Amino acid sequence: MTIAAPAETATGRLGELIARAERLYEDLDFKAVAEWKSKDKTRRAIGFLPVYVPREVIHAAGGLPVGIMGGGDQTEIVRGDSYFQSYICHLPRSVIELLVSGRLDAMDGFLFPSICDVIRNLSGMFKLLKPDKYVHYFDLPQNFQRGLGGRFYGHEMREVATAVGRMTGIEPTDDRLRESIRVYNLNRKAIAELLKLRVDKPWLVPATEYYLVLRAGYMLPVEEHTALLNEYVQLVKDSGRRPMDNIRVMVRGAFCEQPPLALLRTLERAGCYLVDDDFVVGTRLVHGQVAEQGDPWDALADAFMHHSLPTPSVYDERHTKGELLVRKAREVRADGVLLMAPSFCDPALLDQPMLQTALEKAGIPFTSFKYSEDTGQFQVIREQAGTFADAIKLWGTV
Amino acid sequence: MTVEAKKDASQERQKAMIAEHFNKLSRAKEDGRKVVYTFVPGNLTELLANFDLLPVLPEINALQSGMRGKTGDYIHLAEKSGHSEDVCTYVKADIGMLKSGNIGPTGEKLPPPDLLLLSYTGCFTFLKWFELLREEYDCPVVMLHTPYQGDGKITEEMRQYVAGQIRNVLIPELEKLSGKKFDEDRLREDLKRSAKAEDDLVWVLESARHKPSPIDAYFGGVYYIGPIFTSFRGSQDAVEYYELLRGEIEERIKLGLGPVTPDGVLNEEKYRVVVEGPPNWTSFREFWKMFYGEGAVVVASSYTKVGGLYDRGFRHNPDQPIETLADYCMGCYTNLNLPDRIKLLENYINDYQADGFLINSVKSCNSFSAGQLLILRELEKRTGRAGGFIESDLVDPRYFSAANIKNRLESYFQMIEAKRGKA
Amino acid sequence: MDCFIGIDLGSTTTKAVILDGQGRIVGRGITNSRSNYDVAAQVAKQEAFTSARFELLSRELRAREGISESERERLQSELLAAYRHELFLGQLDALEAHCRNDLQNPRFADSRRELTQALEVILQGIREQAKAIFVAESVARSDFFRDIAGSAFIENASEISRGGGPAFDSLVGMFDRNIIPVENQPESRGFEELLMAAYQRLPGDLREGHAGLAELLKSIAETELADVRTVGTGYGRVRLPFPKDCIRSEILCHGLGAHLMFPDTATVLDIGGQDTKAIQVDEQGVVTSFQMNDRCAAGCGRYLGYIADEMNIGLHELGPMALESKRRVKINSTCTVFAGAEFRDRLAAGQAREDIVNGLHRAIILRAMSLLARSGGIRNEFTFTGGVGKNPAAVRALREVAEENYGKLILNIAPDSIYTGAIGAATFAMRDMAGVKAGQEAA
């Protein structure tokens, strides 16, 4: 349920584009996926859970990677709650709800990246509830040496590629994978453009629009998504939107269970431009470009192990998470940081004290609060974010 | 129902072993010995011993603090310093203990770590835990990534990955720290002793197949697993402890005695149950009493397998010293996928002729808890035996509601009784 | 007559049920649980015995010739009203005694005279009003002395203070300080004494129209009702003054009670003030699995209470209001702590009261559904018990959601489902005794 009133509505071509992204966001029956599949009998869709899988691998085997990011705030939980105690986060409830109500039927397989114990165990639940589907726990490496973690990870990737290839009848050759890397590099480039524009001129890119166009990448074939991103960036550059007296904030903690759109609106209304965040972070966990030459499996492994954004689920080997956070905040000229974590999210909440220490040392203002994907009350958050913004505007600190 | 108990010799022995270990720790600095903090599931005790390093297990400290009624304050302290009320209370109890002077379970101050060995088996929170400790201590961290048995097996790739990390990352780091060379022959000797103690432990755990069971495999079981799950595996002490324990249990069986409880021997076994999930530590005795007070004996439990599933055949193998450590790390209970956990519990219920099973769902531990309601449903379906579900926490006293738990347990045991009455 | 008694100590009310040797319900009693469970159990039991004797009377009267059905009903209801009236006056006397004693406290030295006078006027007023309260066939909002006397006390006290008497607070304070000892003090007169006093209160035509009525009542009062065995259950049952083997879990009692009321029951849902239970029973009423809510009261009856308070309306008005809803609103939190805030937030966002309230009902039912699913789902027939069963919007939501997920079902709701646990307990008492006898015979 959306309590806050809708954001200023975009019109014309921009309006159509946003409406399309919003339809994809609300498509919790994954009709778009079923439609994509219906065009060719050999097409297969692989659902993956937060935070990150190398989608190139699925793409190379002819599959469509589809992000399963929870049920949002519109899914009524009838059966999902009966699988989880009250002290477990919300996302797995809605995912189970989607599964048992048949809304994930368009998926031919599921990947559960290794990010936390809840998602890990959810993989076993899927195995039990859908014994006839491909369900795989995708173990991302925590050792980052090429001969150890890299080798193990390469094997994991090959296994997924082979499994998907068996479904589609397409062999995931090195050449195909190189081509997939190239296609995803274009997507990464388009995302980088969007991120840059938001840092430079955040008034052109409202938080909900940003979220919707990014999230569309978890539903659309990558080629279409790249086109959508490029068009969006062009359209908002020409939109003539004007700056407001907002502060610039960075958001951390929302990498898995996604905040409802109404929460993003609430933050913006409270006077915050979101200039950096970790929403649907899997779309851009690997930053920069992945090597298009050489061994493509190694290239993907290297990218994950050495060129990815810090996230609480991946071991911080070099002990730099605080430093990187501060550096990023300076780079995007953030006035402050919102540490917003889902309730009961162990990785995000255990990370917070470390991030707070780093921010305190650097003198960067921050505030923290919890949410869940179906949060329906925003009064407290509105007041908190509003006070935070006002304090920064008045005194430059809190 | 119970008669006065005397302390068994094995109990005294274990107490002395623990006291000596903590004494060594308190003297570590003077003695020039290095200290390594690490975790119970998938611990590499024999390897640490190879370099004469002294292990400290923060989980054990947290649960001991819980039993001594300290964790309420520790957790409060951690929450005051910015930790969320939502997260694992072992971590918060440990951080609170650290902030209160790091006084260990025997009242002696624990030495700071010279190394944090992040061997994380079956729990993501371990990773955060040592990242947090790293903020407090100026010492290196070694990560040993243990892949999860997502597809219900340990593949050759997984084994090579873990063994490779032990060989190429961990051993060099331990050599650097200790200034000693890795001694493979010594490791083989230690692993032989490990396997010997493991044989006796399995015998003890399986003695619960007897009717009446001579042991409680959960509340009593946590004492029996103590030495082998912690700092003593591979030592002569552990071998002797398990011989002693086994002798005592053999005697109990001969005499037809039931398990020892804090109130004496339980002689009337009314209910045999299997328990899934860790116990609550802050009200451990009270919780136990809710079982033996009703004549209920736990004949098998999954918690006593978090440090190794020896009863399913695994033994440390001196012939492949590194690979066997890798297999051990990956084979602990919390590293099993949900279907295999269910299969294991189903087998326990059948093999130990249990009247039913109980799940103690702890708030802190998502590794255990997420999915337990599906475990409940599946086990009920597969075994037709009575299933019960209770909720508590490891060491947060706020999450142990005695009246509520007692109510559920009584209802549960009466339900078994009523079902029997019908048969 | 042999009596088997079941007592269900709930968090808000205590219920007692008496079965005769054939397992027929002959008496029911209910009282508020108060702070003292022992007294509550005693009072409920006493009430159940009273109702059992009235049941005996009814049986006797039926057996008599020449009394028409309507005549008999009138006699019974007049007698019951008169009996209650007597009981009430007795408690009122006790209240007076406690209040007078209380006023001896030195802190009332200056106001004692004034307060004593006011007390006398108030009590006189209540005694007058009681005549109108205890008339046959009147439906009292509540049977509890605390409620009836309390509202009459307030009414009379406010009139006095408006008329220039002592301050309202000081008058009501007298009631508040003394009601608990009154509640904790069982009636001193025996049944016979009360019944005969009630007989004297009957309208003349009834007393004269039935020859030998006084003798009949006397014999009813003298009939031996043997308390063969009592089984206790419920929230406070660990504190019941019975040996351990006379105590049964509320889950077992509830399951059996529901089975006795509706023999084809397979699944039972009970939503009480502070807890929700989902129970599966077999064809003999034996519990095969159960689930209860965790330690917070989210989604229980209490939650609706908070919402009613927030809206400043009576709890019973909530259901009918929800039935007026035109649009479905999805409520995400059933947390009692956030209930008020979420409600205000939604009102502020322009949502209609009826729609929000309806959404809240659905949210509660969804929580119950998750307990049901954990316990093994809903099987036919499905019996719904507990206070929330009186709420039409909750029942409608339950029916909808149950059928959406489990198909067409028979949904049983008994008007007196509040006694479910006590009926189960009384049946256990009876079966235990049969077991003891069988054991003795075998020996």
Residue A13: phi, psi to the nearest 5?
Answer: -60, -40
Same-domain check for residues C27 and C95: no
With cut-offs at 50, 70 and 90, classify the pLDDT of residue B6: low
Residue B214 near residue B253 (C-beta atoms within 8 A):
yes
Q: What is the pLDDT of residue C275?
A: 81
Whether B202-219+248-422 and B2-182 are alike in CATH topology: the answer is: yes
Q: What is the pLDDT of residue B94?
A: 97
Query: Residue C133: pLDDT above 90?
Result: no
Residue A44 near residue A109 (C-beta atoms within 8 A):
yes
Query: Is C236 within a domain?
Result: yes
Q: From the CB of residue C317, how many other CB atoms can be counted at a distance below 10 Å? A: 12
Same-domain check for residues C281 and C386: yes
Query: pLDDT tens digits for C198-213?
Result: 999 888 888 888 888 8
Mean pLDDT in residue range C89-111: 93
Q: Which residue has the higher pLDDT, A133 or C443?
A: A133
Average pLDDT, chain A: 95
Residues of chain C positioned with their CB less than 8 A from the CB of B415? 249, 251-252, 286-290
Q: From the CB of residue A176, how many other CB atoms can be counted at a distance below 10 Å? A: 19
Highest mean pLDDT among B369-378, C287-296, C358-367: B369-378
Mean pLDDT in residue range C67-95: 90
Q: Which of C269, C310, C330 is best to mutate for the A interface (most A CBs within 10 A)? A: C330
Query: pLDDT tens digits for B240-297?
Result: 999 999 999 999 999 999 999 999 999 899 999 999 999 999 999 999 999 999 999 9
With cut-offs at 50, 70 and 90, classify the pLDDT of residue C128: very high
Q: Which residue has the higher pLDDT, B414 or C243?
A: B414
Query: Is C58 within a domain?
Result: yes
Query: Is C349 within a domain?
Result: yes
- Nearest CB to A347; choose among B124, B160, B342: B124
Q: What is the pLDDT of residue C263?
A: 96
Q: What is the CATH number of the domain that holds C403?
A: 3.30.420.40
Query: Is C231 within a domain?
Result: yes
Query: pLDDT tens digits for B313-344?
Result: 999 999 999 999 999 999 999 999 999 999 99
Which percentage of chain A shows pLDDT scores above 70? 98
C398 → chain A, closest CA residue: A78
A343 → chain B, closest CA residue: B86
Q: What is the pLDDT of residue C132?
A: 86
What residues does A340 pair with on adjacent strands? A369
- Interface subset of A 334-363, CB within 8 angstroms of B: 341, 343-347, 349-354, 356-357
Query: pLDDT tens digits for A229-271?
Result: 999 999 999 999 999 999 999 999 999 999 999 999 999 999 9
Residue contact A344–B369, C-beta within 8 A? no
Residue contact A1–C341, C-beta within 8 A? no
What residues does C281 pair with on adjacent strands? C287
Mean pLDDT in residue range B181-187: 98
Residue contact A120–B148, C-beta within 8 A? yes
Q: Which of C276, C284, C374 is best to mutate for the B interface (most B CBs within 10 A)? A: C374
Q: What is the pLDDT of residue A5?
A: 38
Nearest-CA distance A81 → chain C (Å): 6
Residue-range definition of the domain harbouring residue C176: 82-183
Same-domain check for residues C54 and C95: no
Mean pLDDT in residue range C124-151: 81
Query: pLDDT tens digits for A73-129?
Result: 989 998 999 999 999 999 999 999 999 999 999 999 999 999 999 999 999 999 999
Residues of chain C positioned with their CB less than 8 A from the CB of A80? 370
Residues of chain B positioned with their CB less than 8 A from the CB of A350? 83-84, 87-88, 91, 125, 128-129, 131-132
Query: Is C221 within a domain?
Result: yes
User: Which range has the worst mean pLDDT, A201-215, A319-333, A369-383, B247-261?
Assistant: A369-383
Q: What is the DSSP letter of B109?
A: B
Same-domain check for residues C30 and C164: no
- Nearest CB to B128; choose among A148, A350, A356: A350
Query: pLDDT tens digits for B355-364?
Result: 999 999 999 9
Q: What is the pLDDT of residue B355?
A: 97
Q: What domain count does chain C have?
A: 3
Q: Is B187 left (phi over 0), alpha (psi -120 to 50) or beta?
A: alpha
- Nearest CB to B415; choose among C287, C295, C374: C287
Interatomic CA distance for residues A45 and A110, integer angstroms: 9
Query: Residue C140: pLDDT above 80?
Result: no
Same-domain check for residues C252 and C269: no
- Interface subset of A 243-302, CB within 8 angstroms of B: none
Residue B149 near residue A146 (C-beta atoms within 8 A):
no
Q: Where are the domains of chain B?
A: 2-182, 202-219+248-422
Q: What is the pLDDT of residue C295?
A: 57
Query: pLDDT tens digits for A171-223?
Result: 999 999 999 999 999 999 999 999 999 999 999 999 999 999 999 999 999 99
Same-domain check for residues C215 and C302: no
Residues of chain A positioned with their CB less than 8 A from the CB of C342? 376-377
> Is the CB of residue C154 less than 8 Å away from at least one CB of chain A?
no
Query: Is C101 within a domain?
Result: yes
Q: Which amino acid is at A257?
A: E
User: Which range has the worst mean pLDDT, A147-151, A154-158, B397-401?
Assistant: B397-401
Same-domain check for residues C257 and C291: no
> Is the CB of residue B418 less than 8 Å away from at least one CB of chain C?
yes
Per-residue CA distances from C364 to A89, C271, C361, C371 (Å): 19, 9, 5, 11
Closest to B337 (Cα-Cα) out of A161, A149, A119, A100: A119
Q: What is the pLDDT of residue C237?
A: 53
Same-domain check for residues C334 and C283: yes
Nearest-CA distance B361 → chain A (Å): 8
Same-domain check for residues C61 and C91: no
Query: Residue C324: pLDDT above 60?
Result: yes
Query: Residue C122: pLDDT above 80?
Result: yes
Same-domain check for residues C310 and C396: yes
Interatomic CA distance for residues B159 and B330, integer angstroms: 8
- Which residue, C220, C245, C262, sits at the end of a domain? C262
Residue contact B415–C238, C-beta within 8 A? no
Fold designation for B202-219+248-422: Rossmann fold (3.40.50)
- Interface subset of A 305-334, CB within 8 angstroms of B: 312-313, 315-317, 319
Nearest-CA distance B73 → chain C (Å): 22
SS3 C304: helix
Query: Is C421 within a domain?
Result: no
Residue with tokens 């298009």: A292
Mean pLDDT in residue range A292-309: 97
Mean pLDDT in residue range B29-46: 96
Query: Would you list the DSSP string of C69-86?
Result: HHHHHHHHHHHHHHHHHH
Same-domain check for residues C114 and C61: no
Average pLDDT, chain C: 88
Q: Which amino acid is at B303?
A: Y
Q: Which strand (E) or helix (H) includes residue C94? A: helix C69-103
Residue contact A82–C329, C-beta within 8 A? no
User: Class of B2-182 per CATH?
Assistant: alpha beta
Query: DSSP E strands: which ranges in C327-377?
Result: none
Query: Residue B3: pLDDT above 70?
Result: no
Interatomic CA distance for residues B334 and B400, integer angstroms: 23
Same-domain check for residues C26 and C121: no
Query: pLDDT tens digits for C266-306?
Result: 999 998 877 889 999 999 999 999 998 765 666 677 788 88
